[in-house]
Structures are given as structure tokens and as C-alpha cells.
Amino acid sequence: MNVIRVTSAAVLGVDASLIQVEVDLAYGIQAFHTVGLPDGAVREARVRVQSAIKNSDLEWPVRRVTVNLAPADLRKEGTGFDLPIALALLASSGQCAASGEGWSIEQFMVVGELSLDGQVRPVRGVLPMAIAAHEAGLQGLILPHGNAREASVVEGLAVLPVTHLREVVEFFRGERDLPEAPPSDVWSDLDEPTYPFDFAEVRGQEQARRAIEVAMAGGHSALMIGAPGSGKTMIARRAPTIAPRMTFREALETTKIYSVMGLLADDVGLITQRPFRAPHHTISSVGLVGGGNGVPRPGEVSLAHNGVLFLDELPEFQRRTLEVLRQPLEDQEVTVSRSLVSLTYPASVVLIGAMNPCPCGYQNSGSETRQCRCTPWQIERYQARLSGPLLDRIDIHIEVPAVRYSDLRDAGAGESSATIRKRVQAARTIQRERFEGLDLHCNAQMRPRELELFCAIDDAGHKLLERVVDRLGMSARTFSRILKVARTIADLDGEEDIQTPHLAEAIQYRLLDRQQSPY
């Protein structure tokens, strides 16, 4: 008897590999063995598969059953092998066909968890699986109904959603058709994202609004420091509304991470809005950057990939937790290792932080009614909670003063997010052309080589920087951050050359360096 193979897939990191599910039925005492399945969840598959088959008016073969998942050395986890195992078993025992005129079971990828009554339930990581199926030249993907949208963003692959094991069996018996899921209209999804809030709602705070615009335009990390109720959280939440539209590639990258985590809603094909993640300050370092027992999972910094990671109340985070952010911020990806596996997840984010300047919150707040009551020692201790190396990686720091009542009452509506987004988009287009053929996307990612190439400054600019670097004692690292931010400001201005006003504005965004200087 020839062995029947059903193709399925296993996800490692954010990519999937093909897995062949083979079933061998031998005479002998009734038994069930699995080979190549190290993970507990897969071993439990037997219980679900057996029950699903019996409850679907199908027969569990009275044989010695051996299930082999090949290749054996590839780590497999999850419940998605239920359906391919059941199908291989049913085809091997002659309850449905494995090939017919013009088709073979091997042209399909099959994934899905089975419930005890034979329903097919959604699984994680279907988007990378669909990509793998397409790359392998398979014709169709048979999958749970709830996963159809995420798979159908892959063009040129027939996506065949099912809800019950019986539908699959009847399909391979030639008794029914499986209707194809309609392809996702990806490009129209990408057109204009809508948000429930807008920058127009923020009154006053011109400097902070501008700083966030610069941050989004150049991919710079930013820290807002200011009194309670001044609008820091409000402004940060609006950052994604002015971000440049996602490209298809970016959308695919981000969606893969959510697919692997099982975080995509049924009706979501592709994530087309840049993510905004705001983890609470009690988060662990594993939650933030990824890891965990068993197969390491992506953390918040990867869930924010191609979007904004917002850390509100920054000094409340564990210092150690913030330390671990350094590597992903530098490398735009996280490598998480556990004893057996080491996985890399993308993590390219705009980091936005917010904090009060002191424990009471009112130091230098500009408020006439509320004065800071903190001692210098308390203030120092509070600010020292921030990790120095993390601060070193933040391009922009600004003060957000308390809003005056008159501003709240009189200031007209500010610029809308749509207007700001146009400028940001234009600045990003300039950057894309500038970095054509290089592996960078935005000014924040420039290395010394690119700084040299693209950030030339004239004599007046040199004079200004000389005063700042020498007199205020700024480090070389600060110097390069000023250059990058100035480059972005010039891009927003549509200027080829960095001019003195661009540098002057960039220097303003180094609040903490100025405070720490003895002048």
C-alpha cells in the first residue's frame, strides 16, 4: 500500500515550513503512535482526531496507526495538525480519495484544529502558512473558516474555508465543492485609515505637536516630559494618525506577527493601520521584548512593528525591563533564545515615552497655581530611574507645559491629522528616494556613513554646533542625533541642505542634555 501524504505547515518565528503528515495503517493490536511530534499539544491531537472522526459518522480504523510528521527535526507545536492527521487517516483507510482525475491530495495544504464533534476551529499563524503554500506552488489551502481572511491576502492561492470535518471528506469523495474565499481587496484597505480621534482636538502644545510630527516623519524616538493633565497621553495616542500610510510589505510583516500570536480578528485580512501599543508599566521584560518558556513568543516591541510603542509613565517601568529595550531599538529586531530554539522577530518601532518631571509632577510646569513640592534629592532619584543607555537612544526630548485655561477656551482647533500626515508622507517619500538601494527606510536609521553622505552642514551650522557641543558638553552620540533630526526637519521643509534653523530646532529637542549641563 502506498503511503498517503497530506501537506500541512509549522510556524517558526514569523515564517512557516511545509510539514508532510503521513499515516501508516498496519495489522495488529489497535494502537496509535506518533513520530516527529515532540509537543504535548500535538500528542493530544489523537484524542481530538479520534473523537471528531467517530462523531462525524466516519470510522476509526481498527489498526495499528502510526502518524509521522516530517521532517522530524523541525519543531512543531499547536493544534493545527488535527485536520491533516484526520484526513490522512481517512484517505489511508479508504474513506475518501487521495487523488482523482486531474487532482491529488498533495496539491493542497491542510490546517485546522478539530473539536470533539468534528468542527474545524481557527489556528495561529495562517498567514505565514498561506505564504509558504503559495511559494511551494500548491493549489489550495484548506483551513478553518475563521482564518480565511488572513490567508486570502495571498494572491494566486485558492483559499478553501471549512467549518466541519465532513465537508473536507465529502470534498475528497467528490460529493461537494468547497467554495473559494473571495480575495481580500488589500489595496483599498490600505487607502485611508480612519481613527476615532484627531490631532485637531489637541489645544495649544505647539511644540509637542511639532516634535511628534518630526518623530513620525523621520522615525525618531521621542520623550515628552510635563505636568499631569498637559496632554502627553492624548498627543501620543494621536501619533499613528499622522504616520505615513503602510506599504503592502509593511502591512504583511506586521500582520504575520499578529497571525502567529493568534491576535487577528476573524474579519481582518491585513493589518493596514500602523499598530499603537501602550503596555502598562508593570509589564515584564519578556512581555516587552519577547521570550518565555518553550517556543519564544514575540513581545510588545514586535507587536508594535512598523508602528508606535508608547511607554507612558516611563519612570514607573522596572529599570531592568527598560534595559532590555536597548538591543531591539538599535537593531530593529529582537532575537529571543531558549534552550532549543533561537528566533528573530522584527521590531522596528517609533518609541514614544511620557513622564512627569518629578514625583509631584509640577516642576517647571509653568502653572501659577501649583508649585512643585519635591526636594532636589527626590527629583534626582525619580529621574535616575530612567535607564541612561535607554535615554541615550532617544532622539527627541521635550517639555510639555501645563495647558492654560485660556488656551483651552480660546485656541481654535489645531491642524487636523490629515493635514499633518501629508507633510509627514512627503518627508518620507524624500527619505525613500534618498535611501534607494540601501537597507534603511528613514533618517533615524542612518549610520555614520550615511550621516557623512546626507547630512553636510555649512559654516554657520558648524559654528552653532561647535558652541553647543563644547559649551554644553554634549557627547558625540548626541551630536549625531541632532544631525539626524535636523535632516528630518529639512525634509519636512522640502530643503535639500540642512540649514541653521533646522539645526537650531533639532538642538531644542535635547532638553535633558541641556538640563544636565552645568550651564
Distances in whole angstroms, Cα of residue 17 to Cα of each of 109, 133, 320, 417 = 11, 9, 35, 41
- The span from the CA of 519 to the CA of 503, in Å, is 20
Pick from 347, 402, 334, 356: nearest CA to 221 = 347
Beta carbons of 162 and 145 less than 8 angstroms apart = yes
Residue nearer to ligand ATP on the CB measure, 100 or 228: 228
Partner touching 511 among ligand ATP, Zn ion, Mg ion, none, CB below 5 to 8 Å by kind: none
Distances in whole angstroms, Cα of residue 352 to Cα of each of 322, 336, 369, 394, 480 = 13, 23, 29, 9, 19
Residue nearer to ligand ATP on the CB measure, 234 or 472: 234
Residue nearer to ligand ATP on the CB measure, 413 or 460: 413
Partner touching 403 among ligand ATP, Mg ion, Zn ion, none, CB below 5 to 8 Å by kind: ligand ATP
| Nearest-CB residue for ligand ATP | 231
Positions touching Mg ion (CB under 5 A) are 233
Residue nearer to Mg ion on the CB measure, 233 or 364: 233
DSSP-derived letter for residue 174 is T
Partner touching 204 among Mg ion, ligand ATP, Zn ion, none, CB below 5 to 8 Å by kind: ligand ATP
- The span from the CA of 346 to the CA of 466, in Å, is 38
Positions touching ligand ATP (CB under 6 A) are 202-205, 226, 228-234, 354, 356, 403
Beta carbons of 394 and 444 less than 8 angstroms apart = no
Alpha helices in 343-416 (DSSP H): 376-384, 388-391, 405-410
Residue nearer to Zn ion on the CB measure, 132 or 372: 372
Residues 345-374 as x/- pattern, contact with Zn ion by CB under 5 A: -------------x-x--x--------x-x
Assigned C-alpha cell, 8: 500541512
**At closest approach, how far in Å is the CB of 379 from ligand ATP?**
15
Residue nearer to ligand ATP on the CB measure, 89 or 396: 396
Partner touching 387 among Mg ion, Zn ion, ligand ATP, none, CB below 5 to 8 Å by kind: none
How many positions of this chain bind Zn ion (CB under 5 A)? 5
Partner touching 360 among ligand ATP, Zn ion, Mg ion, none, CB below 5 to 8 Å by kind: Zn ion
- The span from the CA of 131 to the CA of 21, in Å, is 19
Residue nearer to ligand ATP on the CB measure, 46 or 281: 281
Partner touching 229 among ligand ATP, Mg ion, Zn ion, none, CB below 5 to 8 Å by kind: ligand ATP
**At closest approach, how far in Å is the CB of 204 from ligand ATP?**
5
Partner touching 5 among Mg ion, Zn ion, ligand ATP, none, CB below 5 to 8 Å by kind: none
**At closest approach, how far in Å is the CB of 372 from Zn ion?**
3
**At closest approach, how far in Å is the CB of 315 from Mg ion?**
13
Beta carbons of 391 and 323 less than 8 angstroms apart = no
DSSP-derived letter for residue 510 is B
Pick from 199, 328, 186: nearest CA to 246 = 186
The number of residues in the chain equals: 519
Partner touching 94 among ligand ATP, Mg ion, Zn ion, none, CB below 5 to 8 Å by kind: none
Subset of 370-409 contacting Zn ion (CB under 5 A): 372, 374
Partner touching 127 among ligand ATP, Zn ion, Mg ion, none, CB below 5 to 8 Å by kind: none
**At closest approach, how far in Å is the CB of 361 from Mg ion?**
10
473: Cα within 13 Å, side-chain hemisphere: 8
- Strand pairing partners for 518? none
**At closest approach, how far in Å is the CB of 444 from ligand ATP?**
24
Q: Mapped to the 3 state alphabet, what secondary structure does 150-168 carry?
A: HHCCCCCCEEEEECEHHHH
Assigned C-alpha cell, 487: 535632516
- The span from the CA of 445 to the CA of 4, in Å, is 50
Beta carbons of 184 and 270 less than 8 angstroms apart = yes
Instruction: Report DSSP letters for 228-256, one per residue.
Output: TTSSHHHHHHTGGGGSPPPPHHHHHHHHH
| Nearest-CB residue for Mg ion | 233
Residue nearer to Zn ion on the CB measure, 85 or 372: 372
E strands in 180-284: 222-226, 276-277
Q: Cβ contacts of residue 470 below 8 Å, gap of 6+? A: none
Residue nearer to Zn ion on the CB measure, 86 or 374: 374
**At closest approach, how far in Å is the CB of 226 from ligand ATP?**
6
**At closest approach, how far in Å is the CB of 217 from ligand ATP?**
21
**At closest approach, how far in Å is the CB of 194 from Mg ion?**
24
Partner touching 374 among ligand ATP, Mg ion, Zn ion, none, CB below 5 to 8 Å by kind: Zn ion
**Which residues of this chain interact with Zn ion, rule CB under 5 A?**
358, 360, 363, 372, 374
